[in-house]
Amino acid sequence: MEDKKLTFIMYPWYAMGHLTAFLHLSNKLAHRGHKIFYLHPAKTISKLEKFNLYPQLINFKSFTVPHVEGLPLGAETTSDIPIFNQDLLCQALDLTKPKIDSLIQEIKPHFILYDFAYWVPSVARKYGVKSIHYCSITPSSVGYLMRGEQPTTEPEMMEPPPGFPVNSSIKLHKYEARLIAALHSIGKDSSGSGTATVSFTQRLLLAFQDGDAIAFKTTREIEGPYCDFVENKFKKPVVLAGPVLPEPTETSNTEENWSKWLEQFDEKSVIFCAFGSECKLKKDQFQELVLGLELTGVPFFAALKPPFEAETIEEALPEGFKERTQGKGIVHSGWVEQQLMLSHPSVGCFVTHCGGNSLSEAMINECQLVLVPNFGDQFVNARLFGGDLKVGVEVERDEENGFFTREGVCKAIKLVMNDESNEEGSNIRANRAKWREFLLSKGLEDSYIDAFVQKLQTVL
């Protein structure tokens, strides 16, 4: 049984974080000789190809994302559209159903791993293929946020659901609960085209309820009680893939320029701030953030998208900011290889929007964590890492509107970076070191991936 080589189809949602998460897992499986057919939107190939470490076993299959009325022409991933238009991209995903059907029929894999394509299990069953919901968000987020088909009210979202682990630090603030309630109702109305659409919440619930198992990228040590809660809630086996650490990537030429820039500073003295490929702030919050970085007096590199009310980073920067930070502060809107930045010896602090991939990349590096969650599951991630694990500090915000100030940003950074700082800072740094050591401990990842494959064999 052990040596049976398996064949997988991977069909992730069209967001870079999901696409890379599925590809990292594909690498771990290919390393053990399993065969992968990895489906991706055509234009994402340039960003994904370099992460394929086993091209002889991981077969990229590109496709054109079907066009849906209202979707900008050529839009392929969530970074091409505003967050509240994601239901249109979901509709495009649903139009690929016939293509996936014929592919499953042709390849006859043992498993297909999916996330937002909630109809995959019904298609897979026709051909005797097992479907696994590989969830890109954490068990704690799924347990807290997935309540039921009816949109949940703001006060309800502020409290954990019944039966949620008692020792959890996870709760939502008022403004976060409001955003989540809005997210739950995305796509509720029919588009007027005569085709009824599923709401975002229904889509996710169906995706969890219909597959043969639910898989997560996490460990029992970090999220055991939440895994049990999810297993209980959906009455499905929960399979853990472990930390699924990304392999170190090769340096590209553009990165070398930033390495040279970073090298002029002392070890662990630079702040790296990055909010992922999708997060856009409002202009006033963008300015508070960069002014907070300036206020620390420490060198910084910020990789951010221009805020909502501006076309470019240049026009969004506060007056005089560029002149004042010349030589020791950079705000950059282009693509940055985050893993390389985080592992650079000069980087001592990471200011993050708490996306799942960003946090797992950060956890295996030595930089301290400052948490500024922006949307969705990022709020839960911030409580998990800042509250349960105590490995970082959240920037203080206004309970009503979620507004943070430059002083708040500066205070949080100084708390974790400053060695002579108070006891709280010392405890956070000690916890950071302890969890990093655990995640990098010899054999941990291998034992999780081996157990993952074994558990899938039993699902067969």
Out of 18, 24, 40, 110, the active site residue is: 18
What average pLDDT does range 353-381 have in this prediction?
94
Q: What CA–CA distance (Å, rounded) separates 305 from 286?
A: 9
User: Rounded to 5 degrees, what are φ and ψ at 270?
Assistant: -100, 140
pTM: 0.91
Q: Does the active-site annotation cover 18?
A: yes
Mean pLDDT of the chain: 91
Q: Does the active-site annotation cover 115?
A: yes
What pLDDT, on a 0 to 100 scale, did the predictor assign at position 421?
A: 61
How open is the CA angle 89-360-51, to the nearest 5 degrees? 65
Q: What CA–CA distance (Å, rounded) separates 306 from 278?
A: 11
How open is the CA angle 20-24-26, to the nearest 5 degrees? 110
What average pLDDT does range 26-55 have in this prediction?
95
What average pLDDT does range 88-112 have in this prediction?
96
Q: Which is more confident, 13 or 253?
A: 13
Out of 87, 94, 115, 388, the active site residue is: 115
User: Rounded to 5 degrees, what are φ and ψ at 95?
Assistant: -70, -10
Whose tokens are 């553009």? That residue is 254
Identify the CA nearest to 34 among candidates 345, 456, 448, 442: 456
Alpha helices for 333-393 (secondary structure H): 338-342, 356-363, 377-383
Q: What percent of the chain has pLDDT over 90?
A: 76
